[in-house]
Each structure stands twice: as structure tokens, then as C-alpha cells.
Amino acid sequence: MNVLVFDTEEQIGIAAGYYMCGQVLQKPDSVLGLATGSTPLKAYKHMVSLYEQGAVDFSKVTTFNLDEYCNLNVKDKNSYHTFMYQNLFDHINIPDENINFLNGNAYNLELECENYEKKIKDAGGIDIQLLGIGSNGHIAFNEPADAFQRWSHVVALKESTIKDNSRFFDSIDDVPTHAVTMGIGSIMQAKRILIIALTEKKAKAIKQLIDGNVTPDCPASVLQFHTDVTLMLDRGAASLL
Ligand code: PGA
């Protein structure tokens, strides 16, 4: 794994923004796997800034987001749909029809997940997947479990994740209890993976990702088997290495 440690979140945002845009410059019709949460905010900011400077063109890009809450209107301020439009899609030129999300309100969620996998495959697979990591080692909403869940699926969120994410909601009771997420197999099939982790809250999960046992108890540990993973960490997230 390629482990890069930076002094500031700002520096990581710039490096990650270049990394993602570099992919698009190399292959203008790239398929990007995108993540939500606090972690990628600065990377998206830098991608927008590179676009505004005319350095990169997203008009042929396709995107697949990792996950979405169930039973939350896509227009809700906390939906991942809203997050992505506010922080990236509203500011760059990816055509709307090239933007893909799992629909957490689909009547038949299993079918929705099957169709999402098919869409990723039909698009030629994900060229680069951007990931955050949960303090419990989750990637996307693949929570610690007894077995790795291979493809996109519905998941009941762990209490620790609900607690971590409650900072965005008015009350912890408003945090959805379920989500739809790409599976470990969907993520592992990405050609390249970029993980960003910030603060010492992620240090334990990062240590386990890099040199712990590969176990579904820490879903991120499976990335040890991927051949092209880059980690961009601040000093807090790298503090146990
Ligand atoms: P965060 O979430 O970026 O808000 O810390 C990351 C994650 O849970 O994957």
C-alpha cells in the first residue's frame, strides 16, 4: 500500500483532488466511485477549483456513489444525494444522467442493489474508488460483521455509526437505522482505491487496515488484498503506525 502522511487536511484535499482529477485527465470517460462524510470535503473542493481553472473536464465522467440512507427523502439535507450535489455535482460539469446513486427508498431494495451492480459492470467497472473509513473500520456502510458482504445490499447501521453520524442530524433519533451500500466485492473490483482518513479517531481502524488481521470484524482490512491502494492520512490518523 502507498501510505502518504500530511500535516494538514488542506494538503490532503489538494493531493486527493489532484489524484482524482489526474485519473480524469488520463481517461476522460473515467468511472469514479465517490464517498460522502466529512473526510472527502476538501478533496471535492479542490476538484471544483481545478474544474473552475479549466484544468479538468468532467463531461464524459460517470460516477457511482458508495451508499445512501434508507427511508430518507433524497431532498433531505442529510441525504448523500444532497451532500454530493452541494459539495461537488452542482459545481462541475458531470452530466446528470451519468450520476448514479443507490436508491434507499426503492420499493424492492434487493432488486435496486442488483441493478446497481449491473450498472457498474455495464459502465466498465470503477476506475478509481474514493473511500473514507469509519472509526469502527467500516468502508461505505459495510459494518463489522461475521462475514464480508460481497455485493450491494441493505444494511442495519451499527450503534457506533449512528452515533458518529448523529452530528449532522437534529437528534440521534432522526438518524436512519438502515442504508443501502456497495459491498466489499463491489469496492474491491475498483481498479484503484484512494482512502482518506483524518484525526486520531480513525487511527485504530487505519492501523488494522494496514497491518491487522484481515477480518470482517474490520471490513477495511480486506483492502490488504487489493493491489492498488493509496492512503492519504493526517498525523492523527497515522498516529498508531
Ligand atoms: P466521515 O465518515 O468522513 O464523516 O468521518 C467516514 C465514513 O464513515 O466512512
Indicate left, alpha or beta for 124 from its phi (over 0: left) and psi (-120 to 50: alpha).
Answer: left
Pick the atom of ligand 1 nearest to 133's CA: 9
| Residues 24-52: tens digit of each pLDDT | 999 999 999 999 999 999 999 999 999 99
Question: How would DSSP label each residue in 96-135?
Answer: GGGEE---TT-SSHHHHHHHHHHHHHHTT--SEEEE---T
Residue whose CB lies within 8 A of the most ligand 1 atoms, among 36, 42, 44, 200, for a mutation test: 36
> Residue 196: what pLDDT?
98
The catalytic residue among 68, 127, 143, 234 is: 143
Q: Mean pLDDT throughout 193-203?
A: 98
Nearest residue (CA) to ligand 1, atom 8: 134
Can you tell me the distance from the alpha carbon of 239 to that of 5, in angstroms, rounded to the nearest whole number?
Answer: 10
67 is catalytic: yes
Query: Quick one: pLDDT at residue 55?
Result: 97
- What is the share, in percent, of the chain residues with pLDDT greater than 70? 100
Q: Which of 138, 153, 164, 165 is catalytic?
A: 138
What average pLDDT does range 64-92 have in this prediction? 97
**Inter-residue contact 102 to 112 (CB < 8 Å):** yes
What is the predicted pLDDT for the residue at 3? 98
Q: Ramachandran region of residue 52, left (φ > 0), alpha (ψ -120 to 50) or beta?
A: alpha
Q: Does 136 qualify as catalytic in the annotation?
A: yes
Instruction: Tell me the average pLDDT of the chain.
Output: 96
143 is catalytic: yes
pLDDT, tens digit (0-9, with 9 covering 90-100), for 168-186: 999 999 999 999 999 999 9
Task: Compute the average pLDDT of residues 125-151.
Answer: 95
